[in-house]
Amino acid sequence: MKTRKQDSPATYGEHEFTVLVEKHKGTIYTVCYMFSKNNDEINDLFQEVLINIWNGLNRFEGKSDIRTWIYRIALNTCISIERKNKRRKTIPLDMDINLYEDTDSDTRQVKMLYDRINRLKPFDRAIILLWLENIPYDEIGDIVGISAKNVSVKLSRIRDELKNNK
């Protein structure tokens, strides 16, 4: 769905921004979750994405769907922060205990899949994340800046890498 003229950035005030965030917060959290498992870090990433969306609204021209634009902002923000964090040495302060962790086989398999996805390069991780969200190839291509055919090829290679990456 293309953005209507009345949804142009000039009409976005605090209320409209709040409605926009409420509508797309699941998308934003999904992207943030793919780049961290630490709840505090996920919330920090979410907050950075919101800041970038707010700051970029005046540059949103409505040439693409607002959802596509939000995905791009979220992915670019998370990738940029991940790159910065890799350059910086940190010591995680984690207690290595989760009282609420599920131990059933479905949860373990999902966790194993996410662990493998987290080992992918950020660009590949973004593509598989969008695919897991059931986004069509042409929209994935619009979000990451490649053709739908290239998305198909990349997904095939990523799936092979996930199968072989144990």
| One domain for residues 66 and 87 | yes
Domain closes at, from 92, 118, 146: 92
Per-residue confidence (pLDDT) for residue 50, from 0 to 100: 95
Q: Are residues 70 and 133 both part of a single domain?
A: no
Where in the sequence is the domain holding 130, given as residue range(s)? 100-166
How does DSSP assign 83-98, residue by residue? Answer: HHHHHS-------S--
Domain end position, chosen among 92, 116, 145:
92
| Number of helices and strands in the chain (H, E) | 7, 0
Q: Say if residue 105 is in the same domain as residue 143.
A: yes
Q: What pLDDT shows up at residue 4?
A: 39
Q: How many domains does the chain have?
A: 2
Give the pLDDT of residue 91: 58
| CA-to-CA separations, 38 to 29, 33, 41, 56, in angstroms, rounded | 12, 8, 5, 27
165 in the same domain as 109: yes
End-to-end Cα separation, the chain, in angstroms: 39
- pLDDT tens string, the chain, 166 residues long: the values are 444 344 444 467 888 889 999 999 998 988 898 888 788 899 999 999 999 999 998 888 888 889 999 999 999 999 898 888 777 665 555 555 454 455 666 677 777 888 888 888 888 988 998 898 889 999 999 988 899 999 999 999 998 988 887 6
Residue 87 maps to which CATH number? 1.10.1740.10
Boundary residue ending a domain (65, 92, 119) = 92
